[in-house]
Chain A
Amino acid sequence: MFNWFKVTGWLMLLMLAPKGAIADHYHLGKPASDKVIAGWDIDVRPDGLGLPQGSGSVVDGEGLYDEKCASCHGSFGEGEGRWPKLAGGEDTLRDDRPEKTVGSYWPYVSTLWDYIHRDMPINAPQSLATDEVYAITAYVLNLNDLVDEDFVLNQDNLAKIEMPNKNGFYVDNRPDVSNPRCMKNCKDPKSIKVVATISGITPTAHFKHDGNDGVAYQQSAVAVNVAPEVVKTYQNACQMCHDTGLNDAPKTGDVQQWQARLGKGKQALYNNALTGINGMPAKGGRTDLSDEMVKSIVDYMLALSK
């Protein structure tokens, strides 16, 4: 709700800004004309502000409703299938399964008018003429027994209709956080002890906390003394295949596979890594790596696979 106010607040500021100022400054777009703004400015407020001139009767609304609305909302607003109910549900808001309908829940008629005008029918929004919107609104009110069958709705009497649940809402005025800023005689931050944290909801133990978040990390069983950048480069460039055996890559740590390859000599392994072999492109596709780095990584993988 409050975010919505913020958004509308900014929109209003934009509307108040001198027309064209933004377009001129950034050399983008074109100034919105009054006609363009009018196309967007269709909201209706509970007091009736924003309603266009027009009227519609319950009788006219019944025909339109049967034609355009009843296939989803039901002949009497009872809702077909799982489409929304429009009528009924009185005194069910405190039940385990409340039925929130126009009659049982909605606080203002303006919302009904605005919704129908803005979004209905769902396959052709904003296709209804103003008087048709008034007529269908009147009929939905009639389905909820809020107006009589001979009622005619217009821009002047819409806001005067009292909805049953009008007083069922309240402003939640709790602050976002109750955390007043301390300006003097404050606690020493070091003395503040965190007594409870929420943790353990998402398992994170398998993530490595060195900037490689999101990469499943397997702690190497063999401790190897190697430069950190070699490890890091291995993680970025090689482990996707060599940790998992993807594309028949020899798995790091698989002694049998690596010792078989080592039989051809270390230089042959270096050459394969530098120029590519079988499914592996030259340098594993990372031609930006130096030859020395690739060789160091081969050494590293061999060390892990003894």
Chain B
Amino acid sequence: MKIKVKAKEKDGIVKVKMLVKHPMETGRRKDAQGVLIKVNHLTEVKVEHQGNVLFHGEFGMAVSKNPFMAFAYKGAKGDKLSISSVDNLGLTGQADVTVK
């Protein structure tokens, strides 16, 4: 899965915005033939900086399609962040970004 990230520093605060491309199927929706669409949602999103976890989210079926997340931390330009995500089918996503 694709993860888009923007991280910008201003006055010592880094704002991180993320968008994970994911269908986030609840498992309760039916397709045109009336068959249930298999459940498929993110279970975990994690942002790390040098081994420290900055952001950790455990997601379920109540989260929207292509979820958008944002958080802020005290940091500096040039911080290298690593973002990872896992869904209930075991598929993973990974993105690296340098704070601007």
Give the residue among A74, A78, A143 with the most B Cβ atoms within 10 A.
Answer: A78
Closest B residue by C-beta to A94:
B32
Decide if the interface of chain A is mainly helix, strand, loop or mixed.
Answer: loop
A76 located at the interface, meaning its Cβ lies under 8 Å from any Cβ of chain B in the complex: yes
**Does residue A75 face the partner (Cβ distance < 8 Å to B)?**
yes
Interface string of B58-91 (1 = CB under 8 A from A): 0000000010100000000000000000000000
A88 touches B (CB below 8 Å): yes
Interface residues of A in 28-66 (CB under 8 A from B): 62, 66
Question: How many residues of chain B have a CB within 8 Å of chain A?
Answer: 9
Looking across the interface, which residue of chain B has its beta carbon closest to that of A66? B6
Closest beta carbon of chain B to A243's beta carbon, Å? 57
What is the minimal beta-carbon distance from A282 to any residue of chain B, in angstroms? 71
A75 near B66 with CB under 8 A, answer no
For B66, the chain A residues whose CB sits under 8 A away are 78, 88
Range class of the A interface residue count: under 10
Interface residues as binary, B17-47 with A (CB distance below 8 Å gives 1, 0 otherwise):
1010100000000000000000000000000
Contacts of A78 in B (CB 8 A): 19, 66, 68
Within 8 A of A (CB), among B1-26: 2, 4, 6, 8, 17, 19, 21
Q: Which residues 145-187 of A sit at the B interface, judged by CB distance below 8 A?
A: 145
Q: Which residue of A lies closest to B67 (CB)?
A: A78
**8 Å CB interface, A63-80 against B:** 66, 74-76, 78
- Contact residues in A for B2 (Cβ distance below 8 Å): 145
Instruction: Output the least CB separation between A56 and chain B (Å).
Output: 18
Q: Which of A75, A88, A143 has the most CB of B within 10 A?
A: A75
**Would you give 17 A-B contacts (Cβ < 8 Å), ordered by A?**
A62-B6, A66-B8, A74-B68, A75-B6, A75-B17, A75-B19, A75-B68, A76-B4, A76-B6, A76-B17, A76-B19, A76-B68, A78-B19, A78-B66, A88-B21, A88-B66, A145-B2
